């Protein structure tokens, strides 16, 4: 997928006018790109449109309109766009109760490295996590991680031909799999592949 350039973005004024429709379109698009893996993790598979939305929202919130500021946001967010042989995922670890969240995040250290995807007939692919910065410390893991799954040409071609897809987490404190990934979501994700 092509990375975003400044001319792909709307000005703050244009975005203010188009935001309700654009936001509704992106939220509908994202719905087919999110997977609940167990009761407490959501995987949000990013693509060019989801990243564009994030950039537009950041520019809006921070009132950024200078070319240098826009370039900085694009530099920060463009790495979340997959390249056709991988998937980029925002991993959300969700516990509504603050005390439980604090307790569980301590026990879930390393979870980001135990996430996997698997094309039927192939070995699992483990996530490459948090390449931009460390999101875990000695006490706990973060509730948000950025993952990359390098599929390679052979797996990508097999998925495009229709082999099954499973995703999961294999952590001592959290073992869940979604096998198979439902057809609507699988189709949306496979469309990202070259």
Full pLDDT tens readout for the chain, 194 residues: 799 999 999 999 999 999 999 999 999 999 999 999 999 999 999 999 999 999 999 999 999 999 999 999 999 999 999 999 999 999 999 999 999 999 999 999 999 999 999 999 999 999 999 877 677 788 899 999 999 999 999 999 999 999 999 999 999 999 999 999 999 999 999 999 99
Shared domain for 128 and 154, answered yes or no, is yes
Could you read off the pLDDT of 87-142 as tens digits, one per residue? 999 999 999 999 999 999 999 999 999 999 999 999 999 999 987 767 778 889 99
CATH number at residue 142: 2.60.40
Are the CB atoms for 153 and 86 separated by under 8 Å? Answer: no
Shared domain for 56 and 127, answered yes or no, is no
Closest CA to 41 of 130, 136, 131, 170: 170
Shared domain for 60 and 140, answered yes or no, is no
- Strands in 165-171's sheet, in edge-to-edge order, are 125-126, 115-119, 165-171, 174-178
Shared domain for 17 and 101, answered yes or no, is no
Are the CB atoms for 116 and 106 separated by under 8 Å? Answer: no
Q: Which domain holds residue 147?
A: 33-46+82-194
Shared domain for 139 and 97, answered yes or no, is yes
Q: Note the Cα 186 to chain centre separation in Å.
A: 14
The residues with which 44 forms a beta bridge, in sequence order, are 34, 90
Peptide bond into 180 cis (omega under 30): yes
Shared domain for 26 and 58, answered yes or no, is yes
Shared domain for 38 and 126, answered yes or no, is yes
Query: What is the distance between the alpha carbons of residues 112 and 146, in angstroms, rounded to a whole number?
Result: 8
Shared domain for 92 and 77, answered yes or no, is no
Shared domain for 21 and 97, answered yes or no, is no
Q: How many domains does the chain have?
A: 2
Query: What is the distance between the alpha carbons of residues 76 and 141, in angstroms, rounded to a whole number?
Result: 22
Shared domain for 181 and 90, answered yes or no, is yes
Shared domain for 38 and 121, answered yes or no, is yes
Shared domain for 7 and 102, answered yes or no, is no
């Amino acid at each position: 997928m092509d990375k975003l350039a400044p001319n792909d973005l709307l000005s703050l004024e244009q975005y203010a006018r188009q935001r309700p429709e654009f936001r509704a379109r992106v939220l509908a698009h994202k719905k087919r790109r999110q997977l609940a893996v167990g009761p407490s993790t959501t995987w949000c598979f990013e693509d060019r449109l989801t990243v564009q939305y994030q950039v537009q929202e950041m520019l809006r919130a921070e009132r950024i309109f200078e070319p240098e500021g826009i370039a900085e946001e694009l530099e920060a967010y463009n790495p979340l766009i997959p390249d056709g042989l991988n998937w980029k995922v925002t991993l959300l670890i969700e516990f509504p109760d603050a005390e439980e969240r604090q307790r569980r995040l301590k026990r879930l250290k390393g979870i980001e490295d135990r996430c996997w995807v698997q094309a039927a007939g192939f070995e699992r692919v483990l996530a490459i996590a948090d390449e931009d910065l460390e999101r875990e410390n000695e006490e706990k893991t973060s509730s948000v991680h950025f993952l990359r799954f390098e599929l390679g040409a052979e797996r990508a071609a097999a998925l495009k031909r229709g082999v099954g897809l499973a995703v999961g987490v294999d952590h001592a404190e959290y073992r869940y799999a979604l096998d198979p990934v439902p057809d609507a979501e699988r189709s949306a994700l496979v469309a990202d592949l070259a």
